[in-house]
Amino acid sequence: MAKGPVQKALAILAALIVWQAAAELVGIDFLLASPLQVAARLATIWRESGFWSTVAFSMSRIVGGFMTAFILGIVLALLAGRFPLVETFLWPYVVTIRSVPVASFIIISLIWLTGRQLAVFISFLMVFPMIYANVLQGIKSADGRLLEMTALYRVPWTRRLLYVYAPNVQPYLTSACSVALGTAWKAGVAAEVIGVVDGSIGEKLYESKIYFMTADLLAWTVIIVLISVLFEKLFLFLMKKAFAGMEKL
Amino acid sequence: MTDIRLEGIVKSFDGRAVFDGLTLTIPAGETTCVMGPSGCGKTTLLNILAGLVKPDGGAVTGVPERVAFVFQEDRLCEAFLAVSNVRLVTGKRVSREAVAAALGELGLGESLDQPVASFSGGMKRRVAVARAVLYGAELLLLDEAFKGLDEERKRLTMDYIKAHTAGKTVVCVTHDPEEAAYLGGRIVELGTP
Amino acid sequence: MKKVLALLLAVALMAAVLAGCAKQEEEPVEEPVKQEEPAVEPEPVVEPEPEPEPEPAEKTTIRLAGLKGPTSIGMVKLLDDAENGLTENAYEFQMAGSADEVTPLLLKGDIDVLAAPVNLASVLYNKSEGKVQLMAVNTLGVIYLVESGETVEDWDALRGKTIYATGKGSIPQYALEYLLASHGIDPAADVTIDWKSEPTEVVSLMKATDDSVVAMLPQPYVTVAQTQVEGLRVVFDLTKEWDALNIGCQLITAGLIVRADFAKDHPEALAKFLEEYRASTEFVNANVEEAAQLVEKYDIVKAAVAQKAIPYCNIVCIAGEEMMESVQGFLEILYTLNPQAVGGSLPDDAFYHLG
């Protein structure tokens, strides 16, 4: 897609100029903050008290939701791969979660869940179908001939999992994770905003909106993206190492 | 170990008859080479012996509990090392060192630290052979096991097999009469259906 | 790297879209037309000559906006009269679901007067550096503490309980927290306040269990809840409770915010508006049944609900010095709870349009 780093840098510069121009066009600076204002705010916001606890709060919940979905997705996919009955049984749930819009889930959950539980649940809900479906696909697409070989040689299921299924699942799982991580963050923060969850990043977004602090709004947005990108890189790196480690066993 | 008997084996695929009442005895503890033109069912015969394919009619008796197979396609786990691939089927019964030594006998001693994905066809083939032999089954099936190997390595591999399969039943499918001769044992011709 | 670029592009795109929405085409500003008083001369009682037609007065158009809720109830009679040409000014009206929709319009000059929460007025005043003013208080407190049970008789009984509430980040939150603290209850430690985003969620919760549920709800949802939840009783009228604290200001919810430029350019029309608004308020409070029909007509809430709710909505029209005193005191309290709630600092006297 994009060419060398110089061209990319120029493109970013151009985008920033467009943004600055738009801010000036709107005219009312507290309806749309300019890049400079946002940058200035970013410099001060992380020093304010409560910044790190807010970030930690949202992170722990969203990452928690993601990890739960990750583990449960893999486990259930393994079971579904082994027992077609499980797959059939799970199918209506997976399809429902996939088709129903996030906002509906958020609104329905708001009645039954407390604010603290909401972000975990919504992140989980978004991530689970992706992980489950992809791992299941990876399992189903395992090389039949390899499986025949392991059946003949009476290879126990643990080794079969490691040698045949794991390497096949790896690309599916990796691609699912890179999408799922971003989605977990977006959906999780959206849930926090709609539920105005105490002490969360979403609450900060909501407050910046009602108190017309748009520099804050955009600064927090930048922070959310940064965290999600960093976490994604970290997680994918760890996953790669884990698979590599498995291959050395 | 008893002899393996196939009696009246009937098998068709997609309406095409491969076997029509095949009767054959494979003596225990000896090497049998199966030869014949392409399409005559050599691989199917091995698959039936391995229990991977069920015949449409007839009976197979005397097949031992454990069967090892060198398939036509290598069927290795590409991301793993050669030693790992062998230990996949042997488990802890055979130590890493023993596996490494066997692979050394097959001329693979220099390549033990790379995943088999980087191996040439001939190298992969030899890993599959080591895997099958070290599994320690009473019946060893070889499906064109020496295809793609040059003369020297062919000899190496055949020597390895002969050295390690004393007293085992070996069924080897091959095109090449010289291979059959080198391996020794009976020769069985399967005709075209 | 790609992600950062994507973020910036996204923000730039968003910005461009926002700019497109916000920047409306400059409409030719209507020339303010002076109202002409039809000359009235005492006719000599001799020959009843047909009076010359009084020149049709050029009416000033005032563009109003309100949020869907009790804060717009006060003006329904005014709007109805305007439709029938019975008012001295001409009025246009639009209803918005949330403040975000109309705030930019006010600032851009597309609407002239907005009925909205008083703290929003202060925020806008501060952020826009004086482009808006508060001209009246039109709604006192509309929040009530209710219970689907009988366990709470006084403030102390709330200790250790969970209160379900709506209105986080706005006046209901501050009012509740202030009232709790004034009765010696720490809102963070001694009670659990579970903030929901919609009153319907709270009602659903109450219906779902036989246990007693304590909640804070605004009108008209209190009325709605009473029809749906058996045995729902009002424990505290928070406006009255606030008064009982005797702190010199009342619990205020909303007021009329006017564009400063408009106020400067049309002082008489605005004064007339205030009069007509006051009359409308008085009408609504005195003729609840009729007003309820109008409330339904303007799509605020169903007539049956409005009829029961209107008396509890504290619809008023307080202007001038009285307004300034009350609002100043109230904003001070909000400021101590959260300075951002009033826009970072207390507004100066120029904030108050005294007419």
Which tens digits make up the pLDDT trace of A29-52? 667 888 888 888 898 888 888 899
Q: What was the pLDDT predicted at A4?
A: 81
Mean pLDDT of A86-91: 94
| Cα–Cα dist A247/B87, whole Å | 13
Q: What was the pLDDT predicted at C17?
A: 52
Cβ <8 Å between A32 and C16: no
Q: What was the pLDDT predicted at C198?
A: 83
Reported as a pLDDT band with limits 50, 70 and 90, residue C57 is low
Reported as a pLDDT band with limits 50, 70 and 90, residue C43 is very low
Q: What was the pLDDT predicted at C331?
A: 95
Reported as a pLDDT band with limits 50, 70 and 90, residue C28 is very low
Task: Tell whether A32 is within 8 A of chain C (Cβ).
Answer: yes
Range scoring the smallest mean pLDDT among A48-52, A91-95, A137-141 = A48-52
- Residue A246 amino acid letter: M
Instruction: Name every chain B residue with its beta carbon within 8 A of the beta carbon of A163.
Output: 77, 80, 84, 88
Q: Å from C121 to nearest chain A CA? A: 11
Mean pLDDT of C240-252: 91
Q: What was the pLDDT predicted at C5?
A: 57
Reported as a pLDDT band with limits 50, 70 and 90, residue B77 is very high
Task: Tell whether A22 is within 8 A of chain C (Cβ).
Answer: yes
Mean pLDDT across chain A, nearest whole number? Answer: 89
Residue pair C3/A230 in contact (Cβ under 8 Å)? The answer is: no
pLDDT at B179 over 50: yes
Give the closest of A149, A167, A249 to B71, CB-based: A149
- Residue C355 amino acid letter: G
Q: What was the pLDDT predicted at C3?
A: 59
Q: What was the pLDDT predicted at C42?
A: 45
The CA R_g of chain C, rounded to the nearest whole Å, is 23
Kindly tell me the burial class for residue B81, based on how many C-beta atoms sit within 10 Å of its own C-beta (0-12, 13-18, 19 or more).
Answer: buried
ipTM score: 0.90
Q: Which of C255, C161, C254 is nearest to C216 (CA)?
A: C161
Reported as a pLDDT band with limits 50, 70 and 90, residue C30 is very low
Q: What was the pLDDT predicted at C4?
A: 60
pLDDT, tens only, A10-24: 888 898 888 888 887
Mean pLDDT of B137-163: 90
Query: Token digits for C158?
Result: 């709330």
- Entry pTM: 0.76
Domains defined for chain B, CATH in brackets: 4-189 (3.40.50.300)
Window 205-224 of C: residues touching A by CB (8 A cutoff) are 205
pLDDT, tens only, C119-150: 999 999 998 889 999 999 999 999 999 999 88
Q: What was the pLDDT predicted at B192?
A: 56
Instruction: Name every chain C residue with its beta carbon within 8 A of the beta carbon of A22.
Output: 12, 15-16, 18-19
Query: Touching C: which chains, 3+ CB pairs < 8 A?
Result: A
Instruction: Name every chain A residue with its beta carbon within 8 A of the beta carbon of C128.
Output: 28, 30
Residue pair B61/B68 in contact (Cβ under 8 Å)? The answer is: no
| Cα–Cα dist C58/C83, whole Å | 16
- The tally of CA atoms less than 13 A away on the side-chain side of residue B103 is 28
pLDDT at A106 over 70: yes
pLDDT at C47 over 60: no
C and B make contact (3+ CB pairs below 8 Å): no
Give the closest of C8, C127, C194 to A114, CB-based: C194
Reported as a pLDDT band with limits 50, 70 and 90, residue B171 is very high
Mean pLDDT across chain B, nearest whole number? Answer: 89
Task: Tell whether B79 is within 8 A of chain A (Cβ).
Answer: yes
Q: What was the pLDDT predicted at C45?
A: 46
Percent of chain C with pLDDT over 70: 83
Mean pLDDT of B128-143: 93
Mutant choice from C7, C198, C345 vs A, greatest count of A C-beta within 10 A: C7
Residue pair A28/C20 in contact (Cβ under 8 Å)? The answer is: no
The edge-to-edge listing of strands for the beta sheet with C233-237 is C192-196, C162-166, C214-218, C143-147, C233-237
DSSP line for A92-139: HHHHHHHHS-HHHHHHHHHHHS-HHHHHHHHHHHHHHHHHHHHHHHHH
pLDDT at C101 over 70: yes
- The β-bridge partners of A105 are none
| Cα–Cα dist B174/B165, whole Å | 18
CATH superfamily of A50-248: MetI-like (1.10.3720.10)
Q: What was the pLDDT predicted at A220?
A: 94
Task: Tell whether C24 is within 8 A of chain A (Cβ).
Answer: no
Q: Which residue has the higher pLDDT, C99 or A135?
A: A135
Q: Which residue has the higher pLDDT, B193 or C116?
A: C116
Give the closest of A15, A23, A207 to C169, CB-based: A207
Window 173-202 of C: residues touching A by CB (8 A cutoff) are 194-198, 201
How big is the CA angle at B113 (ends B107 and B116), to the nearest 5 degrees?
A: 70
pLDDT at B59 over 60: yes
Instruction: Name every chain C residue with its beta carbon within 8 A of the beta carbon of A221.
Output: 7, 11
Nearest CA in chain A to B131: A153
Percent of chain A with pLDDT over 90: 57
How big is the CA angle at B65 (ends B62 and B69), to the nearest 5 degrees?
A: 95
Mean pLDDT of C199-228: 90
Q: What was the pLDDT predicted at C41?
A: 44
Instruction: Name every chain A residue with its beta carbon within 8 A of the beta carbon of B115.
Output: 247
Q: What was the pLDDT predicted at C180?
A: 93
Mean pLDDT across chain C, nearest whole number? Answer: 84
Q: Å from B85 to nearest chain A CA? A: 8
Q: What was the pLDDT predicted at C31?
A: 37
pLDDT, tens only, C312-336: 999 999 999 999 999 999 999 999 9
DSSP line for C297-322: HTTSS-HHHHHHHGGGS-EEEEEHHH
Reported as a pLDDT band with limits 50, 70 and 90, residue C39 is very low
Query: Token digits for A116?
Result: 């603290």
Give the closest of A153, A167, A247 to B135, CB-based: A153
